[in-house]
Every structure is written in C-alpha cells, then in structure tokens.
Amino acid sequence: MEHSSTYTAEIATASQLDMFHYFYHGFYQQWAPELKFFLISLMPFPSFSIELAEFVSGSENALRILNEASSIGSFVIKEESSYKLRPLLRKFLKWKVENNYSIEEQNKLYHRGGLYYETQDNLEKALFYYKKANAFEDISRLLIENAKKHVGTAHYYETREYYFSLSNELIQQSPVLMSGMSLLHSLLLQVEQSEHWYAELSDYAKKQPYNSESKTEAEIRCAYLDIALPHRNHDNIIPLIKSASSFLIKRGKHFPEFSATSNLPSIMNGGLDFCEWSKRDRELAIIMKTPLKMVLGNYFPGLVDIALAESLYEKSYSRQDASLAYEITELLNNGYALAATNGKIEMCFVATFVMVKIHISHNCPQTALELIIAFRKKVIEEHALQLLPNLDAAMVWLQLVTGEKPDSRLPSAESWLVHDAPDENDTFCVLDRFRYMVKVRVYMVMGKYAQAIALIERLNVYFERYHRTYFWMENQLLKAITQYRLLIPTWPETLEKALLKTQEYHFTKIISMKGIAILPLLEQARNFGLNKDYYDIILQDTKNLSVAFPDYLKEHIHLREPLTPTEQTILQLMCRNTKSADICELCGFTYNTLKYHNKNIYRKLGVSSRIEAVKAAIASNLCQI
C-alpha cells in the first residue's frame, strides 16, 4: 500500500496552529511582561542591532533582555554584528500580534521601524515600514524630500514602487513630486510619461498667482528639468544653462541639487553628454564659468578644470607631447583640490578616474591601481557610498585592461558579474549605463558573445533615443569587435560609422583604449574615408596600448572538444604558414586525410577556414610560434 508524503494546506495550517498554541502555553505565558513586549517589538524585523532594539522597544536594557531570552531558550540567534529571532518564534509572535492587537497597535509596531530607519537615512527601509504601518503621510513626506535631491543621490530607482503608489491627485499638489515623477519616468526610458508630468508641472506653474512662491518653485523645477531630463536632446545645452542662470539671478533663487556626473566617473559623459561642448572646450571653459556656478551650486568647484582636462585627454594621442600632458595633469590636480575642499567628492571621482586612464596610457598600471584603491578608501571614510557601484565597476575595468590576475583589493570580473553587475533583463535604469558598459566587456572577456551583443543592442536603443553620443560611439566600437569575433560580415559597416563619428569630435582615446581588441579591425579600416592624419594617429596610439596591455579584451577560444595530438601538430604547422603538401609529407598522410583532420580542427575551433583557424589559434595562445 502506497503512503503519500504530501500534506494538504489545511493540515499544514492546523499543524502550525498547534505549534503556536504549544508556544503560548509552554513558553509565552511564563515570560515576564518586559520580555514579551521586547520580543513583540522586534517581530517586524528579520534582523536587528542593539541600537534598533533599544529604539523600537524604548528599553535601555536591550542587551540584558536578549541575554535573558538566550538563557531560557534558543530564541535569539547572534550573528556577527546583529541578532535575529528564530523563524518559528517570529512566526508565533506575528500570529499573536495579528490575533490580539488592534490595527492601530499593529501599525505602531511597524511605524517605529520606519522612524528608526528614517533617523539612519535608510530611505528604502523607512518607506517599507511606513507602508506596513499605513503611514501614507510619512511616505509622501519622505518622497518629497527625496525628490529634492539630484538623481545621483536620490533613490528614484530603488523607491519607484512608492512613487508609483502615490495618487495623481497627491502628486499634482506638489511641484517637487511632479518634477520627481518626470525624472523617474525618464530614468526608466518612459519618455511619454516623463513629458506628461513635465506638462503637468508647467500647467501648474501657469495657474499659480503672479510672483507667488508656488509659481516660482514650479518655474524653477521646469527650468531644472529642461537641463536635467536624461531623454532631452541637449545640443543646445549652453543657451539652456545661460537662460537658467539668468532666471535664477533675477529671482534671487538657487536650483535644486544638480550633479554633472550622476555618480559616473566622467563629466563629459556623466549626467549629460558634453560631446558638443568638447568641440569648443577651451573657449567654453572661460565663458561658461559664471552660468555653471549659478546652476550647479556646491557641485561647481573643480568642475571646469576637470571637464577641460577630460576633454583634452580624450583628444590627446602623443605621449611625447609633454606640455599637453602637463596641462592635463595640472588641471586635474587643481580641480581635485577645489572639489575636495569646497565642493563634492563626485568631482574627485572624475578626476581620479581620468588620472587612472592617463597612467594606463603611459603604461603605469600599478600607479593606476594604487590611485583607485586609495580613492575607494576615501569614499568609504566620507560615507559617499552612492559612488561605490560605479567605482567598483571602474576597478573591474582596470583589471580587464591590465590583464593582471585579480588583486585581492579588486573585485574579480567573474564575481562582480554574478553578485554586483546590474541586470538589464530586470527594470532597465539609465543610471547604470557605465556599469552596463563594463558588463559588456566582461561578457566579451568570458567569451559570452551572445550575451554581449544582446546587451549592446539593448544599450544602443537607449543611447540613440537619449542622444548619448559618447556612449553610442563606445558601444558601436565594442559591437564591431564582437561582430568581428562572431564572423558577422557587417562589422566593417559598424566600425566605419563609429570612427566617422569619433573623428567628428577628434576623440582618440575612446578607440585606442580598446587596444589589441580593436587593432586588427583598425588595420583594415584605412579606406573608410577617414582623414589620413586622424587614421594614422588612432592606429599608432592603439598599437602603443596593444604592446603595453596585450591581454585587454583578448579573445579566448573555448574549444568545443580537445584537439588530438595530430590535430595540434597540424595547427602548429598552419600557424607557421606551411603549405598543405608539406604538411602531408611531414605528417606522412594523404591530402584527403589532411582534409579530414582540418575539418575536425575547424569544428572544434568554431571556424570555417584555414585563415580563421590560424587567427583563432593566435588569439587563444594555441600557436607556439
């Protein structure tokens, strides 16, 4: 006779209820009132610190009570720096609360959690517990305060479910919320919804009394969005900034927080795309200082020097141009000092990363490594944790470039891909663009070309739609490399479009920093209609980087199955350019036998010809020549 090992939901529920009654009569009734209240206060939290326990329970004796709970049973689990209630005990306490506490009393339990996390500036957890407490006024208040921040520090993406839970009526009462909703939708590639809330904000401003605070606030928010909305075409960014500056001076007001970097290690390619600005970088560095200072406020110190240095670096190509190298370094150091003393650490991040790339260009990888590790320490000491996701991605990039074995102080590419890289298949967020681009490189290094090309195409839609020119060029270069390795015949067309665009801005580093990965493609690009001088510059600079870092984005062939000793011998002879007849003579077999072995070699390498087999063997270190 068969016995089923499964139980119905009714049986499981009844068993759990029996267990709860056992807990109640066997333990709970014997506990002191202080212990009961203390543990019930901690029921809402999967884990907790002593500080949290004292806050939500109102007791100054949290540690003593926890020790008491541990002495009468294994009800509390001690972890490294926190505690947690046993899962079954927590379920029992939740059942007890739901059956014996009023809704108001239950809400108070969760509301204390919201208050605690608000004092800790943990917006996401504060919102979570306020929502559990049905404290919608507190949710609205926190979201309004959050929407006053710039996109680099405001947790728009992480808190989107709370913004989306607000009613339209509530949002339409607040210029700050309407501005925040417009930004949030833009970050999520929802352009129509973003423009809808911009229009709502604009209509709100028109309906307010003349010279009223509400009208001024709404007008300032509109002017802010004119510059800050990611999806807007910012080819006319200079007149927009000048107009906004004049508007603020006339009103005697200041903009909300405005970051030019969005926590990315770039100004030219940060919050906005400044490719057009780069064409007149020296001129604009002079005439735009005052308007930028008015618009950016505390985010201005150091910006002009660092932005000019970054622009000059992107267009530099000769290690022998000592005067230009000195000027770039001087600008970076000056900008860093201004930002560190009077501005924001976000600017220091840009200066550091440009300096890292300069050290890489000069074949000083150890100096670059020490510089970025020292800056990460500074970020942690100053609690600028919003920079860590992009900073860690930059460190992965550095590891890929140098080809060194993972330093214990650096996150390995494989670990980063699994644990920290953003998931483009979840909700796509434009703030993760730098990390997405690093992820493409990791895919390429790991030979995951299908995943790389899928992400490249996904990014291409965003870059084109949002007019991110620099990122578009870089994405196209990586696409051409990937197509080349996948033997897709349209790679020259992809590369040509990218190079013609980089030539328009005279950018060189965006190409040469791809090193050995792009060199074989460039060597075939002489007839792409490029200016001869520009072509010679990028080719030579790429060769220099290829010699310095021969493993960057190096193609790795993963054999479908191992080569036999005979096939290995034949492949070595192919790499030495040995003729087929000579291979047959050396190996002692007929031409038909050679064709049979060649077919197997091509299949295992994933190629279709002798030329491709040699190319794959060289790229994968299978050739011993």
Q: Are 181 and 165 in contact (CB under 8 A)?
A: no
Q: Are 42 and 48 in contact (CB under 8 A)?
A: yes
Written as one string, the DSSP assignment of 6-75 is: ---HHHHHHHHHHHHHHHHHHTGGGS-HHHHHHHHHHTT-SSB-HHHHHHHH--S-HHHHHHHHHHHSS-
Q: Are 308 and 285 in contact (CB under 8 A)?
A: yes
Rounded CA-CA distance 43/90 in Å is 6
Q: Are 473 and 501 in contact (CB under 8 A)?
A: yes
Rounded CA-CA distance 132/109 in Å is 9
Q: Are 313 and 328 in contact (CB under 8 A)?
A: yes
Phi-psi bin for 319: left (phi > 0), alpha (psi -120 to 50), beta?
A: alpha
Residue 77 parent element (H or E): strand 76-78
What pLDDT is attached to residue 560? 66
Q: Are 435 and 393 in contact (CB under 8 A)?
A: yes
What pLDDT is attached to residue 179? 94
Rounded CA-CA distance 190/172 in Å is 19
Q: Which residue ranges in the chain fall short of pLDDT 50? A: 1-4
Q: Are 303 and 296 in contact (CB under 8 A)?
A: yes
Amino acid at 208: Q
What pLDDT is attached to residue 26? 67
Q: What percent of the chain has pLDDT over 90?
A: 56
CA angle (150, 141, 389) in 5-degree steps: 35
Q: Are 157 and 429 in contact (CB under 8 A)?
A: yes
Q: How far is CA 35 from CA 26, 28, 42, in A?
A: 15, 9, 11
| C-alpha closest to that of 306 among 324, 275, 283, 285 | 285
| C-alpha closest to that of 313 among 300, 326, 299, 301 | 326
Q: Are 85 and 56 in contact (CB under 8 A)?
A: no
What pLDDT is attached to residue 176? 93
Q: Which two tokens stand for residue 530?
A: 């490029």
What pLDDT is attached to residue 471? 96
Q: Which two tokens stand for residue 460?
A: 């291409």
